[in-house]
C-alpha cells in the first residue's frame, strides 16, 4: 500500500507544458497522483514533462487543448476521465498576460486574455464538476495582481485575475455542501518564461518583494500539492499568496 499523499487520485492541470503548470504536474505525480495536463502550443515541452514523470515512476498524460475554446476544454476533461478513470483534482493554471497602457490596449489581446484567463477557468469547472465528488479539489492559479498592481499596463490582466478571485469565492459557496474545496493560489513574481528572473521588469519587481528576489515554480507547486491533499479539507474559498512578501 502506497503512503504517497495523493495515491489513487486523478488530476487535471491546465497549461502543464511549461513554467508553474509543469512543476505542478511533476509535483502531483511525485506525490502519487495520475496527472493529465493540457497545453496549447508547446508539444515538445509537453512530451518532455510526460517523459520526466514516467522516468520518476509516475503517470502523466498530455492533451492538446486551447483553454480559449470551451469545446476543447470539455474534450480535455472527457479524455482525462477516460484515460485516468475519473477526476479528483482540477488545477486551473493556464493563463496569458499582455502589458499595455489602457489607451492602446489591443482589442484582440483583451479578447484573448478574457477567453483564456476567465473563460478557460469557467469552462474547465463546468466540464469537470459532474465528475467531482466529496473530497475533490479545485485549485485556481490566480495572481497577486488581483490585489495589488505594482505599475501601469496591468489593468486587464489584473481584471482577469480579480475574476478568478471572486469566482473562487462563489464556487466555494456552491460546492462547500458537497465537500469539494475551491481555493485561489496567488503567485507573486515566479521565474518562468512568462516572467523571467532576468526580464525587463525583474529588477523593479524585486524592489517591492519583501524577500528581494523571485520565487521558484516549486514554491507554488508545493502549496498546490498541500491543497490537493487530505490535510487541507477545511480550507476553502481562500486566497493564498506565494509572493515572498510582495503584498505585505
Ligand atoms: P508560462 O507562460 O510560463 O506557462 C503557461 C502555460 O500555460 C504553458 O504550459 C502554456 O502552454 C499554457 N497555456 C498558455 N495558453 C494556453 C491556452 N490557450 N490553452 C492551454 N494552455 C495554455 O506561465 P507561468 O508558468 O508563469 O504562469 C502560470 C500561472 O501562474 C498563470 O495562471 C499565471 O497567470 C500565474 N502567475 C504567474 C506569475 C509569474 O510570475 N510567473 C505571477 C502570478 C501569477 P503552451 O506553451 O503550449 O501554450
Q: Whose CA is nearest to atom 11 of ligand 1?
A: 39
Q: Above pLDDT 70, what percent of the chain?
A: 99
Q: Is 131 a catalytic residue?
A: no
Atom of ligand 1 nearest to the CA of 194: 2
Whether residue 176 is predicted with pLDDT greater than 70 in this model: the reply is: yes
73 lines ligand 1 (CB under 6 A): no
Are the CB atoms for 226 and 232 separated by under 8 Å?
Answer: yes
Whether residue 208 is predicted with pLDDT greater than 80 in this model: the reply is: yes
Mutation choice for ligand 1 from 12, 18, 41, 141, CB with most ligand atoms inside 8 A? 18
18-64 pLDDT, tens digit each: 999 999 999 999 999 999 999 999 999 999 999 999 999 999 999 99
75-106 pLDDT, tens digit each: 999 999 999 999 999 999 999 999 999 999 99
Which phi and psi angles does 35 have, rounded to 5°?
-125, 125
> pLDDT value at position 3?
85
Atom of ligand 1 nearest to the CA of 46: 47
* 75: Cβ contacts below 8 Å, ≥ 6 apart: 65
Model confidence, pTM: 0.98
Catalytic residue, from 122, 131, 157, 234: name it: 157
Q: Whose CA is nearest to atom 39 of ligand 1?
A: 190
> pLDDT value at position 2?
66
100-126 pLDDT, tens digit each: 999 999 999 999 999 999 999 999 999
Are the CB atoms for 93 and 21 separated by under 8 Å?
Answer: yes
CA dihedral defined by 163, 169, 172, 174, rounded to 10 degrees?
A: -80
> pLDDT value at position 1?
58
> pLDDT value at position 126?
98
Say how far apart CA 85 and CA 61 lie, in whole Å: 13
89 lines ligand 1 (CB under 6 A): no
Say how far apart CA 98 and CA 40 lie, in whole Å: 17
Q: Where are the domains of the chain?
A: 10-242
Q: Whose CA is nearest to atom 28 of ligand 1?
A: 20
94 lines ligand 1 (CB under 6 A): yes
Q: Which residue is listed with cell 492533451? A: 63
Tell which CATH classification among 3.40.50.300, 3.20.20.70, 3.40.50.720, 3.30.1540.10 matches the domain 10-242: 3.40.50.720
Amino acid at each position: 500500500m502506497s503512503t504517497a499523499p495523493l495515491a489513487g487520485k486523478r488530476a487535471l492541470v491546465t497549461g502543464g507544458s511549461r513554467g508553474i503548470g509543469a512543476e505542478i504536474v511533476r509535483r502531483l505525480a511525485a506525490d502519487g497522483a495520475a496527472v493529465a495536463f493540457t497545453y496549447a502550443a508547446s508539444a515538445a515541452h509537453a512530451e518532455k514533462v510526460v517523459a520526466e514523470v514516467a522516468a520518476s515512476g509516475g503517470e502523466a498524460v498530455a492533451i492538446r487543448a486551447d483553454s480559449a475554446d470551451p469545446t476543447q476544454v470539455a474534450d480535455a476533461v472527457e479524455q482525462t476521465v477516460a484515460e485516468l478513470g475519473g477526476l479528483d483534482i482540477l488545477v486551473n493554471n493556464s493563463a496569458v498576460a499582455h502589458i499595455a497602457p489602457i489607451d492602446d490596449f489591443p482589442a484582440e489581446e483583451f479578447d484573448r486574455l478574457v477567453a483564456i484567463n476567465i473563460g478557460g477557468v469557467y469552462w474547465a469547472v463546468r466540464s469537470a464538476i459532474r465528475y467531482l465528488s466529496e473530497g475533490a479539489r479545485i485549485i485556481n492559479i490566480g495572481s497577486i495582481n488581483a490585489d495589488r498592481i505594482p505599475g501601469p499596463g496591468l489593468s486587464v490582466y489584473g481584471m482577469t485575475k480579480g475574476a478568478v478571485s471572486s469566482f473562487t469565492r462563489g464556487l466555494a459557496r456552491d460546492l462547500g455542501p458537497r465537500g469539494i474545496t475551491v481555493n485561489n493560489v496567488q503567485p507573486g513574481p515566479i521565474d518562468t518564461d512568462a516572467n523571467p528572473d532576468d526580464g525587463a521588469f525583474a529588477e523593479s519587481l524585486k524592489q517591492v518583494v519583501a524577500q528581494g528576489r523571485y520565487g521558484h515554480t516549486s514554491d507554488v507547486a508545493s502549496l498546490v500539492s498541500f491543497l490537493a491533499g487530505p490535510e487541507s479539507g477545511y480550507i476553502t474559498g481562500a486566497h493564498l499568496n506565494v509572493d515572498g512578501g510582495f503584498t505585505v
